[in-house]
Amino acid sequence: MSSSTTAEQGYRPKRTAVKVSGFSLATLAFQTLGIIYSDIGTSPLYVLNGIWPAAGGMPPDEDIVGGISAILWSLLLLPLVKYTMISLYFGTKEGEGGSFALYQGIYPPREVDFDDERTLTGVSIHEKTAQNPPKKTLKQKLRWPLLVWCLFATALTMADGVLTPAVSVTSAVGGIAVAKPSVINSIVPISIAFLVALFFVQQFGTGRLAVAFAPVSFIWFLLLTGTGIYNITSHPAIFRAFDPSRAVMLFVRTKNYDLLAGVLLAVTGSEAMFANLGQFNASSIRISFGLFVYPALTLAYLGQGARLIADKEQILSSVFYNSIPGPVGGPLYWIMFIFAVLATLIASQAMITATFSLIQQVINSKAFSPIRMHYTSDTIQGQVYIPAVNWALMIATIVLVAALTNLANLTNAYGFAVATVMFSTTVMLAIQTKYVKRLPIIVGVILFVFFGFLDAIFWGASFRKIPQGAWIPLMFGCILLAIMVHWTWAKGLEDAFDGRNRMNLRHFITQDKRSSNDDEETNSVADFEPLYFMQSRSGSTQKLADEDAVVDAKRELQRIPSFAVFHKITSGRGVPHTFVGFIRQWPALPRVVIFLSVAMVPVARVPPENRYAVTKVRTVEGFYGVTYYIGFRDKFDVQVSAMVEEICEIEKQSNPNVSNAVLEEIWSISLTATHIVPHYHVVSKQTTTGLLSPVTNYIRAFFIESIYRRLATMFPETANWLTSADEIIHVGINAVI
């Protein structure tokens, strides 16, 4: 085989973490305020009333100090230490974060070599299977359990994308009722109106939204800082809350474990810092949280605790709004209200963008059906907008707000999802310390015991809230988990079938040697020697992958003056099994056959002159392997003329005596190029025998043929590729999996 010299650009479809410094880093850190922190930054709206509801009566002063102490130490140990100092260190090489990224760190996906992808022939396509395969290691045995665990955490994080807007916006809008009790019945419609506007602006992209939202969040945190400092002066003894024993004694004294469910609300949004890593980078997140967000939250909670001790029942009904300095309904009150509403809308943005990032990860890892994604940044590939997910989140959020008018039920649901995801992250971090970071096992044990204990006590408190609303994220999580596990399993079976049945082109298509020198000029397609389709004696083309396969069928294939682009939908060396089926259905071969692989590379746009890499098959005339390099912001637009230029160039290099007539013919037939889009029509095989085999085989067939096959048809991998202007032939081949 020979390769094009003009397209050897060295592109690889591998992202890298965003690296910036100086002013660019400061700008990125500022932008994080508008995307990541408004979730945790709006928790002061409802945390203290989550711990001590107005209907529960006024707590003693020591209990208030203990509650504030629990909040302060939770903020220190979880978002600051666990997430900004530790978790961000465990992002993938591509700069992704979140539970699924931790799984990919332990079990990285196979890197695709597109130079090898263009190899259609070779000594051997398949590796020999060892007669005595080695025993599975502990890491290999844990692969599926950890995958299911991480997919469940990922599903709950996506559920947060529904719960965060519902809780945050409803809490902020509720401030109207404090100043204007007459509008209490309008809180839900007003909240829904704000939510519709929020989801509508998602299409403008993370970068643009960050530019608009970051100044608002910046002012919001300044307001929290200022009001917190002012409120602390009403009871300076609140600084006793920095003593952790105050938090411990709270639970010893009250024996009220449920208080932790309210404290948990103070750290909601912590996972967004890690899940949004792909949208920014670790340094920007650490700078903005450590230097600005964390101090603002600390002062805000201290101030609220001080005012609650000083004013007691006067502010208990709505601690946040009643603790705003000045009269209720005064200028500062409405300023805080406006920025609270804006901040909660931005808080919703944190989990929405995190959901987009997670969906992107699971789609790229083939754990979710392919759906259309729009890349919204020229510099950061992780910034995506997914229309289908956006509108689905909007509908689910509106339904949730309308159905659960009780804010306590919403916060219960919210806390359970957060606690479960935090515990999942701790488990994966502990495992990564050994298998990825290569640290001593004692490091992972210490990390798991310490943070696992903190996460577990929060999770236990939130688990008790399942009857009061925590069942909602559990239901969402289980549904999404079932979808992702099913797709991962079925797609894995289909890809395994494709890998087993890939073939060396020379094993089933052969061409007689010329009677004269190879240097003789070739003038037209009629001058090519005939091609033959080879069939094994058993009737199976799969056996032709072996060099010693016995052939007893030899059918001549007519060459027709046409140009075909065969889209490869799966990666791997050799010719896909779908092409063998194509030859069976169409017993003729075009003059030019291109096997096209698509490689999305970690740059926004690829220059036109660098988009195509071409490899020619020397042993079978007219066959080429082509890699189409596309930037993540490029529109998929296969230009046949650009490929023909590369083909003609490589023909001149491989045969200096090639005639102009041949090159002109290639140009001529390329004007009516046909795109061939293959797909597998999956069929479930009979896998069990015995008394229950009819039942198990029926269930297996139902999940593969009735569910997966239909989903694969609805969401084809080529959905984002081809335009309606192309002439397309769809070729379906049975795949018994």
CA distances from 209 to 27, 30, 196, 198, 204 (A): 14, 12, 16, 10, 7
Q: What is the pLDDT of residues 554-596, one digit of tens each?
A: 778 888 888 999 988 777 888 888 888 888 777 788 889 999 9
Q: Which two tokens stand for residue 479?
A: 């549904």
User: What is the rounded distance in angstroms from the CA atom of residue 279 to the CA atom of residue 34?
Assistant: 12
**Least confident window among 269-273, 512-516, 622-626:** 512-516
Higher-pLDDT residue of 293 and 12 is: 293
Q: What is the pLDDT of residues 11-56, one digit of tens each?
A: 555 556 667 777 888 888 898 887 788 778 888 988 998 899 887 8
Q: What average pLDDT score do residues 538-548 get?
A: 50
User: What is the rounded distance in angstroms from the CA atom of residue 480 to the CA atom of residue 324?
Assistant: 41
- Determine the pLDDT at residue 516: 43
Class level of CATH domain 23-110+140-483? mainly alpha
Instruction: List the chain domain ranges.
Output: 23-110+140-483, 501-736
Burial class (CB in 10 A: 0-12, 13-18, 19+), 142: middle
Higher-pLDDT residue of 633 and 626 is: 626
Q: What is the pLDDT of residues 390-428, one digit of tens each?
A: 888 888 888 888 876 666 666 666 677 788 889 999 999
- Residue 713 makes CB contacts below 8 A (sequence gap 6+) with 679
Mean pLDDT of the chain: 82
Q: What is the pTM for the complete model shown?
A: 0.79
Higher-pLDDT residue of 362 and 548 is: 362
- Residue 660 makes CB contacts below 8 A (sequence gap 6+) with none
The pairing of strands 551-567 and 588-601 is parallel
Q: What average pLDDT score do residues 591-620 get?
A: 86
Q: What average pLDDT score do residues 587-613 get?
A: 85
- Residue 580 makes CB contacts below 8 A (sequence gap 6+) with 501, 503, 508, 541, 733
- Determine the pLDDT at residue 7: 43
- Determine the pLDDT at residue 3: 55
Inform me whether the pLDDT recorded for 725 exceeds 80: no
What are the E-state strand segments in 445-587? 509-511, 531-536, 551-567
- Residue 390 makes CB contacts below 8 A (sequence gap 6+) with 199, 202, 203, 352, 356
CB 344 within 8 Å of CB 38: yes
- Residue 350 makes CB contacts below 8 A (sequence gap 6+) with 35, 36, 37, 38, 39, 164, 269, 272, 276
Q: Phi-psi category of 539—alpha, beta or left, where left has phi over 0 and alpha has psi -120 to 50?
A: left
User: What is the rounded distance in angstroms from the CA atom of residue 337 to the CA atom of residue 332?
Assistant: 8
CB 168 within 8 Å of CB 45: yes
Q: Which two tokens stand for residue 235?
A: 């009871």
